[in-house]
Amino acid sequence: MPLAHAILGFLEYQPMSGYDLKKHFDQSIAHFWSATQSHIYKALENLEKDGLVESQHIPQEGRPNRKQYRITEAGGDELRRWVQTPLPLEIKREAWLIQVFFAHGITNEEIIDLFEQRIAAIRDYCAQLALAQANIDENHAQIGVERLRDLWQLTLDYGTSYYTNEIAWLEQTRERIRALPPFTPPNL
């Protein structure tokens, strides 16, 4: 399960609370994997039950006690096993392609408008990836392991390349849409 293994990966860096894990998700891998706070806590509960992490309560003055988790030796072994295991290909689900597939009832210009809006949304998202770059640099400064920084950079480069290619496809495909036979309303 990728969420559990991502948690193990973060805990391999240092012990963290569920709150800290959520921050790490949001600041480092959100461009390709997200997690809600509730999912993180549920996964931590299962990981602890399975002996892959252990927790300790840390008293805090003026605030509720903090529950901090650390990876166990068994958790480290499981993380290494999982990282070395090829995963099956995940077929992407793209709701907007369902729109295109069934767009015979709208004009070519309306389809092109959908493409233009998607291009704009992707460009906005790619601008946000600059924050991910800053987070990689900041996290690297804290941890200082060049190999980690390079691996983190590979994941960001994948996302940037993916969306750059999608924009190129969308721009090329607009010309094909312009050449489609015109929309004709059905005779009712």
CB atoms near residue 25 (< 10 Å): 21
The pTM of the full predicted model, rounded to 2 decimals, is 0.79
Predicted confidence (pLDDT) per residue in 12-47, tens digit: 999 999 999 999 898 888 888 889 999 999 999 999
SS (H, E, C) the chain: CHHHHHHHHHHHHCCEEHHHHHHHHHHHHCCCCCCCHHHHHHHHHHHHHCCCEEEEEECCCCCCCEEEEEECHHHHHHHHHHHHCCCCCCCCCCHHHHHHHCHHHCCHHHHHHHHHHHHHHHHHHHHHHHHHHHHHHHHHHHHCCHHHHHHHHHHHHHHHHHHHHHHHHHHHHHHHHHCCCCCCCCCC
CATH of domain 2-84: 1.10.10.10
Better-scored residue on pLDDT, 140 or 188: 140
Predicted confidence (pLDDT) per residue in 61-96, tens digit: 888 889 999 999 999 999 999 999 999 998 888 999
Predicted confidence (pLDDT) per residue in 118-168, tens digit: 999 999 999 888 878 877 877 777 777 788 888 888 988 998 999 999 999
Q: Which pLDDT value is given to residue 143?
A: 74
Predicted confidence (pLDDT) per residue in 114-123, tens digit: 999 999 999 9
User: Residue 188: pLDDT band by 50, 70, 90 thresholds?
Assistant: low
Delimit the domains of the chain by residue range. 2-84, 95-178
